[in-house]
Structures are given as structure tokens and as C-alpha cells.
Amino acid sequence: MPNYPIRVGFCAPSRAVMDISTPALAKLYFKDRGADVVLHDTVFKNVKQFAGTDAERVEGLMTMACDPTVDLVLPLRGGYGLSRILDKIDYEAIAARAPVLCGYSDFTAFNLAYLSKTGMISYQGPNGTDFVDTPVFMTEKSFHGALFNDEWVASFPCKEAGDLDMEGTLWGGNLSMVVSLLGTPYFPDIEGGILFFEDCNDRAYRIERHLAQLEMAGVLAKQKAIIFGDFRDADPAHPKENDFLFADVLKYLRERLPGMPILYGLPFGHSPVKITLPVGACVRMRTEKGYVVLSTKEHPRVTPRF
């Protein structure tokens, strides 16, 4: 069982939790593993669908991120809400304190805004709700390794990748959230990057529409590679002959971006296995025996307190 001899701060910058027991259960996971845990009041609030008012949610994120005793900041869940408060967050104050921050789904908005405004690295990885039950072994192993190991390493099987060995800025997250930031001050201007995406509850045609927008905006052509994660809801359960499928999306993109590695199978985000990815880190990506291997020593870590 992994050990977390650190102080963890939970906030709720997005949607309210569905089950009132969630904060206590997420806290228990870390307490049982040696952590000290603090919960901001917003994790218990519900204003319409949000975990408190906009002002309360900003205050919750800033309090946890700027508390010098908090090592790791986790949003309790995603959903929707960060887009409403991006312009109220003091990114420089968070960067000055430099805690480790991790989340996915709606938290993509923060990952990219933080990178755009400060150049600082944060993690695309589990939210608090993912610790209510013991996470899948690979989720837990990747999360723990990102926090404590000198070198961050992730890999996934992808036989179609061919021979690759490149370096670039790793960035991306939830596709809908990435596209929603286009044209705003919170969209990072990354050239030569390794861009990764995942999403849920979107059919293939909507996924392709998002990608077409990014391609027409000039974002995709500037990257060295694109990696897709879990798009399990893209295809109907029982496809018919003329259905437009996720495989068609990949084919379209490869035709539009000839020569660019476009890979599939990165397990993160809404996938049952959620590896932890350093958004904004310069990583090496190579292929080895049918696997794509990503690695860097440029990733945020925590120092054990206890």
C-alpha cells in the first residue's frame, strides 16, 4: 500500500459532489496512508450545480494552493465550473507557492491556464472522487510515482507507433475543455509539443468537429505528435455499416496531418486507468518493443513531511 507522508488539501472549484459522503471517504484514503488532510468548506456546498458560489470556489482553490503547509492540492471532482472563474484566479500567487496540483476533466481548464499564465507544470491525473474507493493499481502506482519519484515514466501499448524518439512539451487534457479555451488568454501557445486528448459522452462526429477547429486554428500542425486516450463513448454500442466511428476520425486526422505521429491508447482522464501526466513538462517520447514510453525529470514532486 503506498504511503503519503504529506499534507493534502481538497478544494471544489467545479461541480458539487453527488454523494455527501464523498469528501470524508476521499479524506480517509489519504489518512489511512499517512497523510494529513484538510478540506475546504466548498467540498460540502451546493449552489445550483456548483460547489459554492464563484467567489467561494475561487477562495477555496486559492486558500489550498497558497497555504504553505499544503503539499498537494486536489479538486474533489470535475464537471463544470472552472471556466466561470479562470479570470479570478491569481496564477502568479499560486506559482510563487508552487504546490503540486492534480486533476482531470474540468480541471483541464486550470492546467492550461496555469501553464499559459506562468509556464508552471501541473498534473492531469486523478480527482478526489477517484480515491473514494481504492484506485486501480496502475492509477495508484502512476500517481504515487509522479509525486515521489525522481523520474516520471509512463507507457502504453501501441504497435502502430513505429520507431519514435523525440522530445516536446507534453500538454492537453479533456478535448472539450481544450477547445473551449481557444482564443482566450488561457490557451497555451505551444510549438513542437506532444498534445494529448481524451473525452467522454461525445460521438465521433463531435470529436472530429473539435479537432477540425483546432486544426483550422493552426494548433495541430505546430505539434510533433498527437496522442489520443479513451473515447469509449464515440461509437454506438452496436455500430451499423454506415455509422461514423472514431476510427474514421483518426483516418481523417492522419490525412490532414501526413507524417505526424497520431497515436491511440493513452490511459488517462475518464478512463478506468488514470495515469498521471505532467502538463507543461518537456518529455522524451520513444517506442520500445511495441510500447510508447514517455519520461521526464522535469515534473513537480512533493517532499515527505512525516
Please give the positions annotated as active site.
105, 198, 270
What is the distance between the alpha carbons of residues 244 and 26, in angstroms, rounded to a whole number?
A: 39
Q: How many C-alpha atoms does 282 have within 13 Å on its Cβ side?
A: 4
Q: Could you tell me if 38 and 7 are in contact, meaning their C-beta atoms sit under 8 angstroms apart?
A: yes
Check if the beta carbon of residue 109 is closer than 8 Å to that of residue 82: yes
Q: Hunting for cell 491525473 — which residue is that?
A: 125
Name the phi and psi angles at 24, rounded to 5: -65, -40
**DSSP conformational letter for 17:** P
Buried b (16+ CB within 10 A) or exposed e, 126-153: bbbbbbbeebbeebbebbbbbbbeeebe
Based on its alpha-carbon atoms, the radius of gyration of the chain, rounded to whole angstroms, reads 19
Strand (E) or helix (H) holding 8: strand 7-11
In the numeric block, which cell numbers belong to residue 223?
505539434
Dihedral angle over CA of 104, 229, 288, 163, nearest 10: -120
Which residue type, as a one-letter code, is found at position 303? T
Cell of 53: 458560489
Q: Are strands 122-124 and 36-39 parallel, antiparallel or unpaired?
A: unpaired
Antiparallel, parallel or unpaired: β 100-103 and 122-124: parallel
